[in-house]
């Protein structure tokens, strides 16, 4: 099978790098207009082109990873070459019905919302499909994105929420980690050791919830001794608006998606 990724930017390149070692596609091709910055992908066995029409010809799967305002022009450019390919879009805020209006109502189209951890094969990818998508397409989508992390099939109406929690979420967690790391430096660790500790603590907490299927609050109960230092710190964080700031930030990102669509 042949995969073409249109838009080898941050996400498109990360997907190409992640998928190339998985032996799902015999050929992977990426495109962008200025190909100089991605010529290194050739060393990984990925074809790099600037001609979208040539790239999509005879592709089984076409993955669109350009900015929302670029998709209409690209669809007009490649529509005649798409053939029977499955189209997967990772573009934020462009609906399945919009994509069908650009490519044709009979086209099989999938929206996927991964995050940048896809380069490490640790993405969480939310997937919504149109009514033309077959069971085989869903199986192929499952094979692609489960090789790059975990995936969840969702209703399309939740795609904006998936964008915020699953994709923007990487940035929220990074900012949380930076703050925890800075706290670690203030109480005595050098920057490198602080980052090492914070990274493994975060990984340990995540794996604990994944493996035990417990609620975060019940894990908190296990480490909060009455009158102890953990509850003292946690309560101070809450007095300073920790949970509230996070929830308000998530909500603000969600409201801001409408601006991206325009």
- In the complex, what is the shortest distance from the CB of residue 134 to ligand NAP, in angstroms, rounded to a whole number? 24
Check residue 70 for interaction with ligand NAP (CB under 6 A). Answer: yes
Q: Which is nearer to ligand NAP, 171 or 220 (CB)?
A: 171
- In the complex, what is the shortest distance from the CB of residue 44 to ligand NAP, in angstroms, rounded to a whole number? 17
**Piece of the chain touching ligand NAP by CB under 6 A; list 32-40, 181-189, 200-208, 248-256:** 32-40
3-state secondary structure 194-253: HHHHHHHHHHHHHHHHHHHCCCHHHHHHHHCCCCCHHHHHHHHHHHCCHHHHHHHHHHHH
Check residue 69 for interaction with ligand NAP (CB under 6 A). Answer: no
**Structure tokens that stand for 245 in this block:** 């700031």
Check residue 109 for interaction with ligand NAP (CB under 6 A). Answer: no
**Piece of the chain touching ligand NAP by CB under 6 A; list 26-34, 80-88, 143-151, 153-161:** 26-34
**Piece of the chain touching ligand NAP by CB under 6 A; list 10-18, 127-135, 183-191, 249-257:** 10-18
CA atoms within 13 A on the CB side of 172: 19
Check residue 18 for interaction with ligand NAP (CB under 6 A). Answer: no
CB environment 69-97: b (16+ within 10 A), e (fewer): eebeebbeebeebbeebbbbbbbbebbbe
Window 89-108: residues binding ligand NAP (CB under 6 A): 90-92
- In the complex, what is the shortest distance from the CB of residue 149 to ligand NAP, in angstroms, rounded to a whole number? 12
Distance separating alpha carbons of residues 56 and 62, to the nearest angstrom: 7
Q: Which is nearer to ligand NAP, 148 or 194 (CB)?
A: 148
**Piece of the chain touching ligand NAP by CB under 6 A; list 29-37, 151-159, 185-193, 240-248:** 29-37
């Amino acid at each position: 099978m042949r995969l073409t990724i249109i838009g080898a930017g941050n996400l498109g390149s990360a997907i190409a790098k992640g998928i190339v070692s998985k032996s799902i596609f015999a050929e992977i091709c990426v495109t962008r207009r200025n190909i100089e910055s991605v010529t290194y992908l050739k060393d990984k066995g990925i074809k790099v082109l600037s001609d979208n029409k040539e790239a999509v010809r005879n592709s089984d799967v076409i993955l669109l990873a350009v900015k929302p305002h670029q998709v209409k022009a690209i669809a007009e450019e490649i529509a005649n070459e798409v053939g029977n390919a499955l189209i997967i879009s990772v573009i934020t805020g462009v609906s399945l019905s919009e994509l069908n209006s650009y490519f044709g109502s009979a086209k099989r189209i999938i929206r996927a919302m991964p995050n940048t951890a896809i380069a490490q094969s640790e993405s969480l990818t939310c997937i919504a499909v149109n009514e033309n998508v077959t069971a085989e397409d869903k199986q192929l989508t499952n094979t692609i994105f489960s090789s790059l992390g975990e995936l969840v099939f969702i209703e399309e109406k939740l795609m904006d929420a998936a964008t915020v929690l699953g994709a923007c979420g990487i940035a929220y967690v990074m900012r949380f980690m930076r703050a925890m790391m800075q706290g670690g430096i203030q109480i005595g660790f050098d920057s490198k050791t602080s980052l090492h500790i914070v990274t493994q603590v975060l990984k340990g907490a995540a794996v604990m919830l994944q493996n035990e299927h417990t609620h975060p609050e019940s894990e908190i109960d296990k480490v909060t001794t009455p009158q102890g230092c953990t509850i003292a710190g946690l309560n101070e964080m809450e007095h300073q608006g920790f949970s509230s700031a996070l929830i308000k930030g998530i909500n603000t990102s969600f409201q801001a998606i409408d601006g991206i669509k325009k």
